[in-house]
Structure 1
Amino acid sequence: MSPHPLFKLDLMGKGTAEVESLPSYLHRCAIAHSCDVGQLMTIADQLVDGSGLCLKESGKPRYTKPHELVRSGKLADLFIHSLGWATGEQLDSSVIWVLRTTLGVSANEVVKGFRWCPECFADNEKLGIPAYFKLIWHMSSVTACHIHRTPLVQQCEFCGCNQIHYKKTRELGFCQECGVSLSKRREEIDRCDLASSWEDIGNDIVELFGDLASVKPGSLPEDGPYKSINDLFDYYWKINREDVFYETLTRDEMIALAYKQKKVSMLTARRVAFRLGIPLYAFLAGEAASISGVLNHGMLCTLPDGYLDVNHKAPKNHIAILKEVTEIISDSEVPLTAKAVCKRAGISTGYMAHRYPALYSSIVDKRKDYNQEQRLKKRYRAQAAALEYFVGDEYSASTKSRNHAYKTLREKTGLPKWELERAIEAAYRALS
C-alpha cells in the first residue's frame, strides 16, 4: 500500500526553466482525482505530514487565486508541504521563491490568473506530454514565449474563459468552458506578431529561471543583492570613482540600497543588473564584483527609453474621490459591494480601507445585511412554495413526491437548488 494518500503526480518540467507552477499542479491534481479544486483543498486541509504541518492551521481553505500561490508565502508553503507529502512529489521549485527569500515586495511582477503559449501546448500534444502552465508564464515581464517568440494569451480566444475556475471538466490543455484546445489560436500568428527584442521576451528573467533551476530552492543568500552593491561601492570608492557607481541608478537610490535603507525589488534588481551588464542571478547571489568586465567604469549599459521605468503613483484628490464614492453609494438602488464601489470610483479597496475605514466598514456591513435579507426572502419563498405544492389547490393533481416537487418548483420559481431541497424536505416530513 502506498504511504501517500493521493496519486503520485509528477511536477512537470522539474529542474528546468520550464517548471510547472504550483497553481497549475493543484488544478491538474484535482483533475487526476476527479474532483474540483475546492474539494482537493478541503482534502488537503486534513493532510498532515511527518512534522505535523497541516493546512488546517491556516483555517478553512478559501477561494485561492493562482497568483496567490505563485509567490512563496505562508499559504503557498502549506500547500507545498501538504500536497507534496500527500503525492510524494517535491514542489519547492513550483513557486517564485526569490520574491520572498532574496527580494522585497515587487508590485505587479506576477500576473493575475493563468497565461499560456498555444504553441507550447501544441508541442506537448505532439509529444504526448500532459498540458500544464509554466511558472515563468506568471511573470508579467515575460510577454512572449521565449521558445516560439509568440505572444502569451490569458483567456480562451474562442469564448473568453480565463481557466481559473475550480470546477474542472476537462484536461488543462482544453478550455474548461467551450472545450476548444488551448493550443489553437483564433487567428494565425503573422511574422510581425513575433517578439523580436530582448525586452519583449524578458530575456533576463528567462535566464534567471534557467539559473535557478540548477540550484536548491531557497539557497540564494538573503543579503546577496546588498553584497553585490556594497562590493561595487567599495571598489569604486577605493579608486575615487564613486560617481560612476552612482550612475548605475541615481545617487540617492544607490546610497539607500548600499546602506539597506531600501528593500531590493525585482524591478530594481533588473535595472541594476542591466546597467552593469551582468546576469540577474549573479547580482542576486552577491557575485556582481566577480563578473569579468563589470569593474570597468566605461562598461555601464544605457537603459532604453521606457524600459524598466519605475511607475510613480499620481497624487490623488481625496476630497473629489470621497464625493464621487458617496454619490455612487446614494445613486445605487441596492447596496453595492466595496469592490464594486471602488471599481466605479477608479480606486483600490486597499486605498478605501486605509483612507476611509469607517466608510469602508459601512459599505461592507450594508452589503452583508442586504445579502442576508435576500437569503431569508428566498428561504421564505421556498418554504411557501413547498407548502403550496403539497397542500394547495394549484398542484392538487400533481404527484406528491419530493423529486417531482423539486422539478416543478425549480422550473417555476427559479430558486436555488439547496433552498428548494431544504424547504421541500421540511414540508414533506411535516405532512407525512
Structure 2
Amino acid sequence: MLASVLETYESWDLRKVAIPSRSRLYRLDPIGIGTPLVESLTGYISRLAEAHCVTPKALISRELVSFIPKTYKTTNLFEMRSLTGALNGTGTMALDLATVLESLTLRSDLRFLTLLSWTDIFPQRRLLRARRAWCPYCYEEWCSSKDKVIYEPLIWFFEAVTLCHWHNQSLYQQCPHCKRELPPLASYSRPGYCPYCLKWLGVTANYPSSDKTPPSKEEIIWQTWVIKTVGELLANTPHLPKPLKREIVAQAFCRYVNQFTEGNTAAFARMLEIPKNKVWMWQMGKVLPELNVILKICFTLQVSVLDFLTQETLKETSSKFPATPQNQVRDSSTKKLEVKFDSDRTQQLLENVLQANEQPLPMTAVAKRLGYPKRVLYRHFPELCRAISAEYVKYMKESRIKRIEHCCEEVKQAVRQVHSEGIYPSEAAISRLLAKPGCFRDKKVRAALRAARREICLEP
C-alpha cells in the first residue's frame, strides 16, 4: 500500500551551468553606428558615466586609468582637458581608450565612435576641432521627444562642419550662460549641458540673436554637401572590410589625373587651382592632404570623398573635368575669391612699406596684408620685394645682436649676485636668475659667463 502512493520525480542535472561573461562596466549601446549621426566617443563616455551615476572624471580616474597604457604624457586625461578632442580622432589616445572601453563593456564596436578606421588616410591636422560644437535646436528636439536620447554626434566635431544641415543653423561653440568654450570631455561633462555652469544648452533666450548671422545660400549649399559626404564616410566605416591604407590616396590622385588630363599633373593642378608640387607629392604618396583639402577637391570634381578613395573605375559622367564647378558656390571655405590685381596701387603700397619708419615685416606678412600671394608680388615687383626682405633680415640680425648683448649683461649681473651670496656661479645657478635660460646655447653668452668669473678670480 505504501509503495503505491510514492511519486517519481525527474532527477536533477548536476552539470555546471555555462554562465556568460559579465562586463565590468554597463554594456551601454552606442547611438547611430552605421549612420551619418554616429555618436562620438567622448559623448559615449559622458553617457556611460551618467548610467553609472558618477561623473566622467570619477569613471576615468577610478576605473579606466589603471587599464590605459602610459604611451602619452599623462594618464590623467583631465590634466589635458583641451586635448580630449583627440579621443575622437585617429591617434594613440583614441585607440587606447576605445580598446579599454571595449574590454570593460564587452563591446566590439566602440572604435566606430572614433576615426580610427581612417588613421592612414586623414592626417590629424585640421581634422577635428578642439572644442565642443552643438546645435541647440537638435538638443531641444531630442529633449522634447520621449523616444530620443540626448547625445553628441561625431560629425559635430569635424572642423569642416560648421552648420546643422537639419536646421540650417550655425553650430555654437560657446555656452550661452557662462560664455565659456567647452572641451570635448570635462570633469562634469553631460550631453546637452555645460560642464562648468551645468546649465541646459538647448534653445534658450540666453543665446544672443546677434551672435550668429543666418548662413548665406552659398554656405548652405557648401555645408549641405560637406555634411552629406562626411556623413557617408561615418555611415560606411563599420562596413569597411579592413581599414584603408595610405597608398589608396596616391592611387586615387593618379586615377583622376589620368582621367581628366591624360596624366598631365600640371594641368590637373591648374584646374584645381592648387600648386603643382602639392599634387605631385600627393600622387607620389609622400604627403597626405588634409580632409579640408580633399573636400574642396572632391567638390570640384563633383564626387564624394568615399567614391574618390574607393572607386577604382570612374563613372562615364566624370570623363570630363568640370568647367567651372565653383560657380555653384562662392565661399571662402570652397574657393578663394578672384581678386583683380591692381599693379599701380600695389606698387605704391610696397613702396610705403619699404619707406615706413616701423618695424620691418617679412614678405609673407606683407603679402597677407595686401591680400595677394607672395609669389604674385615677387613676379610683378621682384626688386621691391627683395628690398623689403633685405630690410627684414637686417632688422632680425640687429635684434639678435641686441638680444645677445642684453643676455651677456644679464649674465654678468647674475654672476655678481650669486657670488655675493656665497654660491659658485655655475651655469645652472645662473640660469635660474635669467629671463631666458636658453640663451646659454649661444657661445657669446657662455663666453660672457667665463669672463664674469675671471673678473672675480674664479676662473684663470
Q: Which moved more, 1:236-245 or 1:226-235?
A: 236-245
**For the residues of structure 1 that align with 2:199 and 2:116, how far apart are their CA atoms?**
33
Q: Percent identity?
A: 19
**For the residues of structure 1 that align with 2:178 and 2:106, how far apart are their CA atoms?**
36
Q: Residue type of the partner of 1:7?
A: Y
1:290 aligned to which of 314, 317, 323: 314
- Alignment correspondent of 1:228: 252
- Quickly say closer, same or farther: Cα 1:178–1:251, change in 2 above 3 A: closer
2:70 equivalent to 1:46:
no
Q: Which moved more, 1:211-220 or 1:258-267?
A: 211-220
Q: How much has 1:139 moved relative to structure 2?
A: 1.2
- Alignment correspondent of 2:293: 268
Q: SS of the residue aligned with 1:172?
A: coil
Q: SS of the residue aligned with 2:318?
A: coil
2:99 equivalent to 1:81:
yes
Q: Is the 8 A contact 1:70 1:95 kept in 2?
A: yes
- Alignment correspondent of 2:449: none
Q: How much has 1:308 moved relative to structure 2?
A: 3.9
Larger Rg: 2
1:28 aligned to which of 42, 47, 71: 47
**For the residues of structure 2 that align with 1:70 and 1:92, how far apart are their CA atoms?**
9
1:144 aligned to which of 142, 163, 181: 163
2:223 equivalent to 1:201:
yes
Q: How much has 1:176 moved relative to structure 2?
A: 3.3
Superposed CA deviations along residues 270-296 of structure 1, whole A, max 9, x for unmatched, are 222122121122112254x51332221
Q: How much has 1:121 moved relative to structure 2?
A: 0.6
Q: Is the 8 A contact 1:102 1:221 kept in 2?
A: yes
- Alignment correspondent of 2:193: 174
**For the residues of structure 1 that align with 2:437 and 2:118, how far apart are their CA atoms?**
30
- Quickly say closer, same or farther: Cα 1:57–1:158, change in 2 above 3 A: closer
2:38 equivalent to 1:16:
no
Superposed CA deviations along residues 116-170 of structure 1, whole A, max 9, x for unmatched, are 11111111112233321111111122111111111211122012244446332x8
Q: How much has 1:69 moved relative to structure 2?
A: 1.0
2:141 aligned to which of 123, 132, 145: 123
**For the residues of structure 2 that align with 1:360 and 1:298, how far apart are their CA atoms?**
58
Q: Which moved more, 1:241-250 or 1:115-124?
A: 241-250
**For the residues of structure 2 that align with 1:139 and 1:209, how far apart are their CA atoms?**
11
Q: Residue type of the partner of 1:306?
A: S
**For the residues of structure 2 that align with 1:357 and 1:20, how far apart are their CA atoms?**
47
**For the residues of structure 1 that align with 2:255 and 2:276, how far apart are their CA atoms?**
16
Unaligned runs of 5+ in 2: 1-19, 337-362, 367-391, 411-435, 442-460
**For the residues of structure 1 that align with 2:59 and 2:396, how far apart are their CA atoms?**
44
- Quickly say closer, same or farther: Cα 1:306–1:193, change in 2 above 3 A: closer
Q: Residue type of the partner of 1:17?
A: P
Q: Residue type of the partner of 1:45?
A: V
- Alignment correspondent of 2:10: none
- Quickly say closer, same or farther: Cα 1:242–1:178, change in 2 above 3 A: closer
**For the residues of structure 2 that align with 1:268 and 1:152, how far apart are their CA atoms?**
21
**For the residues of structure 1 that align with 2:321 and 2:145, how far apart are their CA atoms?**
49
**For the residues of structure 2 that align with 1:11 and 1:212, how far apart are their CA atoms?**
14
- Quickly say closer, same or farther: Cα 1:34–1:187, change in 2 above 3 A: closer
- Alignment correspondent of 1:61: 76
Q: SS of the residue aligned with 2:42?
A: helix
Q: Residue type of the partner of 1:82?
A: V
Q: Is the 8 A contact 1:95 1:135 kept in 2?
A: yes
Q: Residue type of the partner of 1:23?
A: T
2:263 equivalent to 1:243:
no
**For the residues of structure 2 that align with 1:360 and 1:161, how far apart are their CA atoms?**
40
2:277 equivalent to 1:277:
no
**For the residues of structure 1 that align with 2:215 and 2:322, how far apart are their CA atoms?**
34
Q: Is the 8 A contact 1:225 1:286 kept in 2?
A: no
- Quickly say closer, same or farther: Cα 1:178–1:255, change in 2 above 3 A: closer
Q: Which moved more, 1:181-190 or 1:143-152?
A: 181-190
Q: Is the 8 A contact 1:110 1:139 kept in 2?
A: yes
Q: Is the 8 A contact 1:46 1:56 kept in 2?
A: no
Alpha carbon RMSD of aligned pairs, Å?
3.8
Q: Residue type of the partner of 2:253?
A: I
Unaligned runs of 5+ in 1: 48-53, 331-355, 362-432
Superposed CA deviations along residues 357-399 of structure 1, whole A, max 9, x for unmatched, are 93699xxxxxxxxxxxxxxxxxxxxxxxxxxxxxxxxxxxxxx
**For the residues of structure 1 that align with 2:322 and 2:248, how far apart are their CA atoms?**
24
**For the residues of structure 2 that align with 1:195 and 1:67, how far apart are their CA atoms?**
29
**For the residues of structure 2 that align with 1:45 and 1:95, how far apart are their CA atoms?**
19
**For the residues of structure 1 that align with 2:96 and 2:440, how far apart are their CA atoms?**
31
- Alignment correspondent of 1:110: 128
Give TM-score, length-normalised by structure 1: 0.63
1:307 aligned to which of 316, 321, 333: 333
Q: Is the 8 A contact 1:45 1:56 kept in 2?
A: no
Q: Residue type of the partner of 2:333?
A: Y
- Quickly say closer, same or farther: Cα 1:261–1:125, change in 2 above 3 A: same
Write the mapping of 1:318-357 to structure 2, written as runs, cut at 5 A.
none
Q: SS of the residue aligned with 1:13?
A: coil
**For the residues of structure 2 that align with 1:62 and 1:119, how far apart are their CA atoms?**
30
